[in-house]
Structure 1
Amino acid sequence: MYKLIAIDMDGTLLKEDKTVSERTKNAIKAAKEKGVQVVIATGRPIDGVTRYLEELDMYDENDCVLTYNGGLVLKTKSREVISKIALTGADLHYLHNLSKELGVNIHAFSDVHGLITPKNSKYTEVEANINGIEININDYSDIEDDHSIIKVMMIDEPEILQKAVDNLPKEVYDKYTVVRSTPYFLEFLNKAVNKGTGVELLAKHLGVKQEEIMTFGDAGNDLDMIVYAGMGVAMANGFDEVKEVANYITDSNENDGVAKAIEKFVLK
């Protein structure tokens, strides 16, 4: 029996219009009624998912959420931190300089300042609009080297970002967890951070075994939790590399893929 279900949001839980289908809501509700802990596992900050947590009744005292691709795991209502693995201001300065060399835009999430960017751009606007948060213009000169930075993102048109990816120094992959969450978002996190680690830390907190975990995802930043779980489920619309390591491939996000797999493996 599965006791913990972790679900990615964009391309997985959410349809293309950013809504959750009634069938998926009902499947999640039924799983929770069976005593299964259902959590969202996202690259977004908690402020970007609160309305979905409330809509899915995941906002009680014991409900949890994985944010920033597992960099910050916390209780949804009290925001009590279960685990946190961050970058530093020194990392931000290094990646900012690299972004200038590569010719791509950048922004980051600071514990203190929220979403910060040296200049506003199209995809920082996308980030802010998705999450319902403010953009803070900051040239990073006042960010101290020991400042806590949850994640840094290079953001740009897909073809521009791809060129940057192709030219990233090898040392970047040695220093950071690097994930392409969308064609226009490249994310940099602490080397110890990925959704798999986040799920593992949450499972240990809850006393859930690895084989009792089910995860859903579609993109590169979901790969680690798909591999880690006893039942890793890839979406039909997912990246090929995610499908290749999944235990099961369900239907697409547009066709109730999450609901169908929960019905098959949890509610049967």
Structure 2
Amino acid sequence: MQLIATDLDGTLLNENHEISAENRQALQMAKDNGVEIVVATGRSYSAAKLPLRNAGLDFPIICLNGAKIYDKAEQLIRSAPLDKQTCREIQQVCQQNNMYFEVFTNKATYSESREKFLEVMIDIMVSAFPHLSREDVELEATNRFQQERIETVDDFEALFDREDIEVYKMLAFSMDDTTLERVRETLEKAPDLTITSSGLSNLEFNHPDAQKGIAVELFAKKYGIKMKDVMAIGDNFNDVSMIKAAGFGVAMGNANEEIKAMANFTTRTNREDGVAYAVRKFLSK
């Protein structure tokens, strides 16, 4: 193994959105043994850096599902923005279906309303974590808004018309599975668009070149590493491309059964330091 590519949410991060001491130690051990580490996440670059910095780690980052790749020197080495007309089509379909959505750009992440964002996040978290109190849920939702530095905007048409704006990802939410499927079916034939999901109740829209598998392969090639020597670890459908592309794909114990079936190995859950378990088990191979 010469390169480990790991997702963040639901994978390297535990239920508190932190990197545990066990996961940190295992990745640091791998790095000390000459293994390259890269984080591959749907988050923006700044939001991805935060848990790494809190854990005292400094790894290259593939962010926004592969739309942007940063090397070890924190230099942007590739980007794959969405076509602006495609962005308008996504906006129109999401609004027609009353879906809250966010637009991730080179300037900031934009949404139409902080209040609507909090309402959607609270509904999702109440459903996913029924044991949490309302106060805890509201705090978690507020933290998510702050981590992504989301700004509100009234006119998305004007935003897409700006020449200085590049859109790297759009993220839409709905608690209704029928709505999610209808929007996916409406947009899946659009040119220059790939649709994945990073968790409950969402759809992620990227350029077809903005996939974790493609990005990990480009990153590996830059450092002279063959894909057979790559381990990729993930838990959701936006991780599938890198799990399939890697020589050794690892699914988290908390992953969907469909994703586990695609992987070479299923490790423990993100609550049980699954990344550390996989790294220590296969580091010598």
User: What TM-score do you get using the length of structure 1 for normalisation?
Assistant: 0.89
Identify which of 244, 269, 277 aligns with 1:227: 244
Residues 32-71 of structure 1 aligned to structure 2 (within 5 Å): 32-59=31-58, 63-71=59-67
Cα distance in 1, alignment partners of residues 148 and 182 from structure 2: 32
Cα distance in 1, alignment partners of residues 184 and 49 from structure 2: 36
The structure whose residues are more often strand, as a share, is 1
Deviation sequence 1:52-107 (CA, Å, 0-9, x none): 23245543xxx42110011111136x531111111032222111111122221121
Identify the residue that residue 135 of structure 1 maps to in structure 2. Answer: 151
3-state SS, counterpart of residue 161 of structure 2: coil
Deviation sequence 1:139-198 (CA, Å, 0-9, x none): 212121864200111123x22xx2222213646223321111111321100022211111
Identify the residue that residue 239 of structure 1 maps to in structure 2. Answer: 256
The Cα shift of 1:130 comes to 6.3
Identify which of 180, 190, 197 aligns with 1:180: 197
Residues 21-170 of structure 1 aligned to structure 2 (within 5 Å): 21-59=20-58, 63-75=59-71, 79-112=74-107, 114-120=108-114, 121=116, 122=118, 123=120, 128-129=144-145, 131-142=147-158, 143-144=160-161, 147-156=165-174, 158-159=175-176, 162-168=177-183, 170=185
Cα distance in 1, alignment partners of residues 184 and 14 from structure 2: 35
Change in 2 beyond 3 A, CA 1:32/1:57: farther
Change in 2 beyond 3 A, CA 1:136/1:168: closer
User: What TM-score do you get using the length of structure 2 for normalisation?
Assistant: 0.84
The Cα shift of 1:127 comes to 8.1
Cα distance in 2, alignment partners of residues 170 and 132 from structure 1: 28
The structure whose residues are more often helix, as a share, is 2
Report if the CA contact (8 A) 1:117-1:135 is conserved.
yes
3-state SS, counterpart of residue 31 of structure 2: helix
3-state SS, counterpart of residue 183 of structure 1: coil
Change in 2 beyond 3 A, CA 1:130/1:182: farther
Q: Partner amino acid for 2:69?
A: V
The Cα shift of 1:20 comes to 1.6
Identity of aligned residues (%): 27
Identify which of 185, 190, 199 aligns with 2:207: 190
3-state SS, counterpart of residue 182 of structure 1: coil
List runs of 5+ in structure 2 lacking aligned partners. Answer: 122-140
3-state SS, counterpart of residue 188 of structure 2: helix
User: RMSD value over aligned CA atoms?
Assistant: 2.1
Report if the CA contact (8 A) 2:94-2:183 is conserved.
no
Identify the residue that residue 133 of structure 2 maps to in structure 1. Answer: none
3-state SS, counterpart of residue 215 of structure 1: strand
Count of aligned pairs: 259
